[in-house]
């Protein structure tokens, strides 16, 4: 069945379509040693109906041939924008769906600060879904719930990674006029287990359980965002993306799911109605839309997406952009992350070393960052040209 077909771990992206479709509920998702979920079949219950194989969006990939239009967008509500990862467009779309009596599915933290898909039905609860969580989200039985809402005539918005959208559409197996799908430009998803180790590390350091986490605080600006933890003893941890050790591991592609290094859902022809991302490089492409509070890059991939955009555009500042120009600064839209050769060592030692030692052993700073650190520690030295050359040489030699 499904695990026989997907023998290679590099293929299964953990979309959960197979467990949602199984009529005997004999498939469950089990975490491997790295903490990623993979389907496991209980053969004593399996009736060999093959539905798990036919639903798999990797085995039966739908080839798309659409022609997306790209926009640079900013939600006019600055409070929402500051609370969002990019330009706050997710909230605008979600509010429209809720205003029409609809339901919104997205990723939230549960009480243990694990990331999972869930739904909300009121604008007040949208804050649970708002904001990027850089961990693979567990889909659970969300696709089944989506189908129930669709069949009851409710409008449904489902947002997730491109592979989760593929899983949902494959599971539904037919188009629904009351469904709107939004995917994100996705760098890749880190291991939930590595995430739990990091939360544990921060809690131990703070001496209290965590009560709130944000991956994208914009206190120092959107481009230099920070990760923040608020603990139950009111201590706060906040660190810039280049210094936070979890983000360092994520951005150096060492903690991603194996399938993310060969993602089958990259490119400009997407299955979703709308794609959301950060408009990195906005300062070069459209400087007038860069106030460092967050600008979204959005692709409109279908007529449904275009209709929705027309209905909400009066609540945003936007400009049409050349898609090729925009993507130049956001290669995650079209290319998989590169496999980090130190990944095996990192995963093997994740239970042996404390989190900070693990990251400092396996995630080296870039030459530029090492130069900055070295320069800071040598701050009392007058940097002559010769000294600068010595510093660069010593870093290269390390």
Ligand X SMILES: Cc1cc2nc3c(=O)[nH]c(=O)nc-3n(C[C@H](O)[C@H](O)[C@H](O)COP(=O)(O)OP(=O)(O)OC[C@H]3O[C@@H](n4cnc5c(N)ncnc54)[C@H](O)[C@@H]3O)c2cc1C
User: Which is nearer to ligand X, 41 or 215 (by Cβ)?
Assistant: 215
User: Which is nearer to ligand X, 66 or 330 (by Cβ)?
Assistant: 330
Task: List, in sequence order, every residue forming a beta bridge with 291; answer none if it has no partner.
Answer: none
- Start-to-end CA distance of the chain, whole Å, equals 49
Task: Considering only the stretches 89-97, 238-246, 308-316, 380-388, report the one whose residues sit in contact with ligand X under the rule CB under 6 A.
Answer: 89-97
State which of positions 311-330 bind ligand X (CB under 6 A).
330
User: Which is nearer to ligand X, 134 or 246 (by Cβ)?
Assistant: 134
User: Which is nearer to ligand X, 41 or 285 (by Cβ)?
Assistant: 285
Residues in Cβ contact with 353 at an 8 Å cutoff, skipping those fewer than 6 apart: 361
User: Which is nearer to ligand X, 39 or 106 (by Cβ)?
Assistant: 106
User: Which is nearer to ligand X, 64 or 213 (by Cβ)?
Assistant: 213
Q: Considering the rule CB under 6 A, would residue 305 count as an interface residue with ligand X?
A: no
Number of residues counted as binding ligand X (CB under 6 A): 33
User: Which is nearer to ligand X, 41 or 272 (by Cβ)?
Assistant: 272
Task: Considering only the stretches 51-59, 85-93, 231-239, 351-359, report the one whose residues sit in contact with ligand X under the rule CB under 6 A.
Answer: 85-93
Of these, 12, 58, 135, 289, which contacts ligand X (CB under 6 A)?
135
Q: Considering the rule CB under 6 A, would residue 15 count as an interface residue with ligand X?
A: no
Nearest distance from residue 276's CB to ligand X, in Å? 4
Distance CA 236, CA 62 (A): 46
State which of positions 319-378 bind ligand X (CB under 6 A).
330, 332
Q: Considering the rule CB under 6 A, would residue 90 count as an interface residue with ligand X?
A: yes
Nearest distance from residue 176's CB to ligand X, in Å? 20
Of the candidates 189, 185, 212, the residue with the CA atom closest to the CA atom of residue 86: 185
Q: Considering the rule CB under 6 A, would residue 159 count as an interface residue with ligand X?
A: yes
User: Which is nearer to ligand X, 96 or 130 (by Cβ)?
Assistant: 130
User: How many helices (H) and strands (E) are present in the chain, helices listed first?
Assistant: 16, 13
Element (H, E) at 306: helix 303-312
Nearest distance from residue 242's CB to ligand X, in Å? 15
Q: Considering the rule CB under 6 A, would residue 158 count as an interface residue with ligand X?
A: no
CB atoms within 10 A of CB 261: 16
Q: Are 359 and 342 a contacting pair, CB within 8 Å?
A: no
Q: Considering the rule CB under 6 A, would residue 160 count as an interface residue with ligand X?
A: yes
In the sheet with 226-231, reading across from the earlier edge strand, the strands are 210-217, 226-231, 236-240
Site string for ligand X, 17-56 (x = CB under 6 A): ----------------------------------------
Distance CA 241, CA 247 (A): 6
Of these, 86, 191, 255, 302, which contacts ligand X (CB under 6 A)?
86
The count of residues in the chain is 398
Q: Are 295 and 282 a contacting pair, CB within 8 Å?
A: yes
Q: Considering the rule CB under 6 A, would residue 253 count as an interface residue with ligand X?
A: no
Of the candidates 279, 270, 343, 339, the residue with the CA atom closest to the CA atom of residue 302: 270
Site string for ligand X, 272-291 (x = CB under 6 A): ----xxx-------------
Distance CA 388, CA 390 (A): 5
Task: Considering only the stretches 13-21, 56-64, 156-164, 227-235, report the one whose residues sit in contact with ligand X under the rule CB under 6 A.
Answer: 156-164
Of the candidates 126, 130, 120, the residue with the CA atom closest to the CA atom of residue 154: 120
Q: Considering the rule CB under 6 A, would residue 184 count as an interface residue with ligand X?
A: yes
Residues in Cβ contact with 55 at an 8 Å cutoff, skipping those fewer than 6 apart: 17, 18, 20, 21, 170, 171, 173
| Cα–Cα distance list, 350 to 29, 138, 198, 259 (Å) | 22, 21, 10, 20
Tokens representing 115 are 């990331």
Q: Considering the rule CB under 6 A, would residue 115 count as an interface residue with ligand X?
A: yes
- Strands 179-184 and 156-160, sheet pairing: parallel
Nearest distance from residue 86's CB to ligand X, in Å? 3
Distance CA 225, CA 280 (A): 13
Q: Which residue is nearest to ligand X, using beta carbons?
A: 106
Q: Are 253 and 63 a contacting pair, CB within 8 Å?
A: no
Q: Which residues are at the interface with ligand X (CB under 6 A)? A: 84-91, 106-107, 115, 129-135, 137, 159-161, 184-187, 189, 276-278, 296, 330, 332
């Amino acid at each position: 069945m499904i695990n026989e077909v997907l023998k290679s771990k590099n293929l299964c992206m953990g979309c959960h379509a197979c467990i949602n479709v199984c009529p005997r509920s004999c498939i469950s998702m089990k975490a491997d040693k790295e903490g990623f979920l993979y389907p496991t079949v209980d053969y004593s219950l399996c009736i060999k109906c093959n539905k798990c194989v036919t639903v798999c969006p990797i085995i039966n990939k739908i080839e798309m041939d659409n022609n997306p239009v790209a926009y640079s967008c900013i939600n006019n509500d600055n409070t929402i924008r500051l609370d969002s990862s990019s330009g706050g467009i997710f909230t605008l779309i979600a509010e429209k769906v809720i205003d029409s009596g609809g339901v919104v599915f997205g990723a939230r933290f549960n009480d243990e600060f694990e990331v999972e898909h869930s739904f909300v039905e009121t604008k007040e609860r949208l804050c649970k879904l708002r904001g990027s969580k850089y961990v693979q989200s567990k889909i659970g039985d969300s696709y089944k719930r989506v189908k129930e809402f669709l069949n009851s005539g409710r409008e449904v918005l489902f947002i997730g990674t491109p592979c989760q959208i593929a899983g949902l559409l494959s599971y539904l197996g037919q188009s629904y006029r009351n469904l709107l799908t939004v995917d994100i430009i996705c760098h890749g998803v880190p291991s939930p287990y590595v995430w739990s180790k990091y939360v544990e590390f921060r809690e131990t350091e703070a001496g209290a359980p965590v009560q709130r986490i944000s991956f994208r605080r914009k206190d120092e600006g959107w481009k230099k965002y920070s990760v923040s933890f608020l603990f139950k003893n009111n201590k706060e941890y906040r660190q810039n993306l280049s210094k936070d050790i979890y983000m360092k591991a994520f951005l150096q592609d060492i903690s991603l799911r194996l399938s993310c290094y060969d993602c089958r859902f990259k490119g400009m022809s997407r299955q979703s109605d709308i794609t959301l991302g950060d408009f990195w490089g906005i300062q070069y492409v459209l400087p007038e839309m860069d106030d460092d509070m967050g600008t979204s890059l959005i692709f409109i991939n279908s007529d449904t997406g275009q209709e929705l955009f027309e209905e909400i555009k009066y609540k945003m500042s936007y400009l049409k952009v050349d898609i090729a120009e925009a993507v130049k600064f956001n290669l995650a839209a079209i290319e998989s992350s590169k496999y980090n050769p130190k990944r095996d060592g990192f995963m093997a030692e994740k239970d042996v070393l404390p989190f900070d030692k693990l990251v400092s052993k396996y995630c080296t700073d870039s030459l530029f960052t090492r130069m900055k650190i070295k320069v800071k520690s040598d701050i009392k030295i007058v940097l002559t040209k010769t000294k600068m050359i010595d510093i660069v040489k010593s870093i290269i030699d390390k």
